Amino acid sequence: MTEIHQLARPDHRVDLNLYRVFRAVAESGSTSAAAQQLHLTQSAVSHALGRLRTQVGDPLLVKQGRGLVLTHHGRDILPKVCMALDGLQLCQRSGDSFDPAQSDLEFHLGFRDLLEAMLLPPLMAQLQQLDSGINLAASRVRGSELEQQLRDGNVDVVVDIEQSVSEQIASRRYGSEPLCVVARPQHPQLNAGQITMADYVAAGHVLVTLERSERTFVEQRMEGIGSKRKVRLYCETYYAAASVVAQTDLLLTMPQSFARQLSQQLPLQVVPLPFACEPLPVRLYWRRANSEEPAIRWLLDSIVRLAP
C-alpha cells in the first residue's frame, strides 16, 4: 500500500479553501459536521481533505472511534492555519456582506419549545417579507449537549438559558424572562388575580424541565422556594404543561412572555409569583470560529432584533 507521504508533489500554490475545510473538520471531528458548517456536501469535504493530505504529505486527521483526530503534524499546523485564516478574514471584513434576499442557505437552530414558539413565527415572517430563499431547521437541544451539538456542526445557533461553555463557543445576550404563575381561571387558591405564598407552596405543581440540572438552575432563582413545591407532573414542553393546568388545580411556574401567549389559546390566568425571583437570562450561542461569517452575523442580529 502506497504511503500518503509518497504521494506528495512539489506545488507552491496554496488553496485556502482546503485549509478552511481542514480547520472545520479538525474542530468538529467529522467530515459530515464540517460539511454542514461550510454548507458543502460531505463528498466535497472529503475530496478537499484528500487533496490537502496529498499536498502536505501527511494524513492530518485519522479515524479514531466514530470521529477523526489530528495527527502530530495536524496538531502542529492547526494553530498556524487558524491564525492565517482569521487574519485574512479581518482583512476582508470591511467588504463582507450577506444579502438574505439572494441566499438559499439553510440554518440549523437549537431551541427549547417556548423560545421556538416565540422566535420562529416572526423570523419566518421576516424571511417572507424579504422574499428570501433561506430555509430554517429547528431542533430541541438539551443544555448538557449544547456545546457538542454546536461543535459537531449539527446546529448553527442555539437560543437557551444561561449555560456554561468553553472558549470555543461564543455567546451573546438575548434577553431575560421573568417568571409567573399560570392557573385555570377558577382555581380555588386564586383571589383577585393573586396567590399567597402559603397557597403556592401547598398546591400541586407541573414542572417543565429537560434536565435535572435545569431544575436546580430555576430553583436557585426562586430562593429555595421551588424545592418546596409538590410536583405532581414532570414534562418537557410548556404547551403540554399548560394544557394540563387548564383542566386541573395544578399550578405552572413559567416564563411570562410565553405564558401570555398560551393564555390566548387556552383557558388560563397569568398571575405574579408570590415572592421575588430573578429573571431567567437567555443567550444566543454559536461556534466562535464562525463569528465573522457574514451569514451567521446576519442571523444573530436578526434574532436579537426580534427579542420581546
The pLDDT tens digits along the chain (308 residues) read 333 343 344 445 677 888 989 998 988 888 888 887 787 788 888 999 999 999 999 999 998 877 888 999 988 898 888 888 777 665 554 445 788 888 888 899 998 877 888 889 999 999 999 999 999 999 888 888 899 889 888 899 999 888 888 888 999 988 888 899 999 999 998 888 899 989 998 999 999 887 766 666 667 677 667 677 888 999 888 999 999 999 999 999 998 988 998 999 999 999 999 988 888 888 999 998 888 889 999 999 999 888 76
Which option is the CATH number for 100-176+282-305: 3.40.50.300, 3.40.190.10, 3.30.420.40, 3.40.630.30? 3.40.190.10
CATH number of 179-278: 3.40.190.10
pTM listed for this prediction: 0.64
Could you tell me the residue ranges of all domains in the chain?
Answer: 4-95, 100-176+282-305, 179-278
CA distance 125 to 135: 12
Helix axes 42-56, 16-28, angle to 10 degrees: 110
Number of CB atoms found within 10 A of residue 61's CB: 22
CATH number of 4-95: 1.10.10.10
Same fold, 4-95 and 100-176+282-305: no
